[in-house]
Copies of this chain bind each other. A is one copy, B any other.
């Protein structure tokens, strides 16, 4: 049994396995499946200042080894979250992060301020990379000045760990990561989904109501791994790896590439127990390879 705990710039995780926003509901949906306290942490659904109905149906398309989604941040708004969901989360003894999105910098600020009041929320994951909303969303994550502006603004009002979630839809993700680091982010998580599209040939229609959506799942793992590797070589803050992680071997690859923790996303749909198998598998890997702690393999790729 190796040491699995890790500190992500103030977030003390009992193990490096978290679950990704938008793929884990509010956590409570998993109560039937396993004890949530076994997780290093979990990130709840994308939350915005105002309630959002999300995009119209259809919102999902299956693709080779992956899927597209165009949920569009359906959520009840931060007030609804604080009043109706937050109280149900108090029972859990793990790191709960809220994934925050907005159409304007002001919305991000207002939302973050309210979350700052919630003691039991360990941190914010700032989503500057959602490809499925018309305004804001990904726009903040694809230009350095925009990313800087929103991170600086939120940093002023939010005093707990601030993780910034990066978009892969850029020419140079290290530029964005460096900008975000300089603006006060405590850590970065990557990647969000890749902007993509599906067409139904027989009906000659787009599969998604929004035409384009975000690609996730094993298909994007090689891209995510490359970006985690590039970013972790460039920034000093911890990197959280996300993208197509289905099993512990995938997770190990991300640690080797430089991730200090990982998030399990689409894998939750294929197997709600995925995060549990991953935790066990990481432990087994470390034991087999005689590592005493997860820290020994972070960035441990042998070139």
Contacts and interface: CB of A to CB of B under 8 A. Distances in A.
A210 to B, nearest CB: 11
A133 interface: no
Given A226-B197, A253-B199, A257-B199, A63 B221 contact: yes
A301 B199 contact: yes
A10 interface: no
A220 B220 CA distance: 8
Interface stretch (A19-27, A80-88, A200-208): A200-208
Given A211-B303, A222-B197, A256 B204 contact: yes
A170 B215 CA distance: 16
A108 interface: no
A68 B225 CA distance: 12
Which of A169, A170, A171 has its CB near the most chain B CB atoms (within 10 A)? Answer: A171
Interface string A189-201: 0000011111101
A223 interface: yes
Nearest to A141: B171
Which of A199, A205, A206, A244 has its CB near the most chain B CB atoms (within 10 A)? Answer: A199
24 contacts: A63-B221, A65-B65, A66-B219, A68-B222, A143-B171, A195-B226, A196-B225, A196-B226, A197-B222, A197-B226, A197-B229, A197-B257, A198-B222, A198-B253, A199-B225, A199-B256, A201-B252, A203-B302, A204-B301, A205-B301, A206-B303, A211-B303, A212-B226, A219-B220
